[in-house]
A = this chain, B = another copy of it.
Amino acid sequence: MKTRVVALAKRPVGMPTAADFAVSEVELPDPGDGEVLVENLCMSVDPYMRGRMVDRKSYVGPFEVGEALTGGAIGRVVKSNVAELPEGEHVESHLGWREAFVSSARGLRPLGNLEAPASAYLGVLGMPGMTAYVGLLDVGQLKDGETVFVSGAAGAVGSAVGQIARIRGCRTIGSAGSADKVRHLIDDLGFDHAFDYHDGHLERQIAEGAPDGIDVYFDNVGGEHLQAALNCMRPAGRIPLCGAISQYNATAPVPGPNNLAIAIGMGLTLKGFIVSNFNHLREDFVRDMTAWVNSGELKYRETTFDGIEHASEAFIGLFTGANTGKMIVNLA
């Protein structure tokens, strides 16, 4: 059987381009003993993948040039030599940018009866949703009724952060990259205040939505957003550091916030985290998030590209603001 994969053709410098990726056809063997053949229904592109395209030490190793990119995908077992993974079972995998694959059961998570479309398991019910959940509630130690600011609020993580905060009775402020997204945050997702960061004056915009200051700033963006938020924090405020998308394509080190010393007098906590260290909260996440999604309290949106040949375009779109909600590549 032939299938297509996307490999890293070369390491991007600055903003990635189509030439940094290469689609190729590969031959898949039949699944052997203890193996399954999975056809992917959809795959994920996520901002964190940009970091793995750089050759440096980090919490996971870098992608290798010439090899298929890895990442989250949802597929269906079409041939099985594994009793626990019968044909027809839906599985989450981390083998990434490929239409189909043969694998042992290791690293495959069976999803059982789907409670939502398969793609939701790459978004609100998957890694980005859990990132929002653990980042806000555990890392950010959110208390009911506090005031929360989240940057990248129309993205997969940010849109969940704002809605979880709202469900917890918090005042929610979000920044996004277009007037349409700002409307979406307020009209569809129930944010109390939202603004387009292209309008500048970040600190004034935050203060308009949070005149008494912020208790939790959920940082997806870094850079000017972090500096502005620091000036708006209330005493003992918390800043979960989740991402720094404003810097992922920088070709030289970007200076940090020039007001970090505010954290001393105000007793602020900045805490970086990656969701894979919070698996002990997975059951809580699945229970709460499934309930919120099923009740309609928490909404999600997706931006979809069709076909693996458009995966690189979808990925690049993460950095140009092409997505509202989760960016999905449909492979079905």
Residues of A within 8 A of B (CB): 51, 58-59, 222, 226-227, 235, 241-244, 247, 253-274, 277
Contact = CB atoms under 8 A, between A and B. Distances in A.
Contacts of A235: 59
Given A244-B261, A263-B270, A269-B271, 6 more contacts: A264-B272, A267-B272, A267-B273, A268-B271, A269-B269, A270-B271
A96 to B, nearest CB: 19
B266 A272 contact: yes
A263 to B, nearest CB: 3
Contacts of A58: 265
Contacts of A241: 260-261, 263-264
Nearest to A51: B265
A145 B99 CA distance: 49
Contacts of A256: 227, 255-260
A272 B277 contact: no
B270 A243 contact: no
A257 B247 CA distance: 13
B277 A267 contact: yes
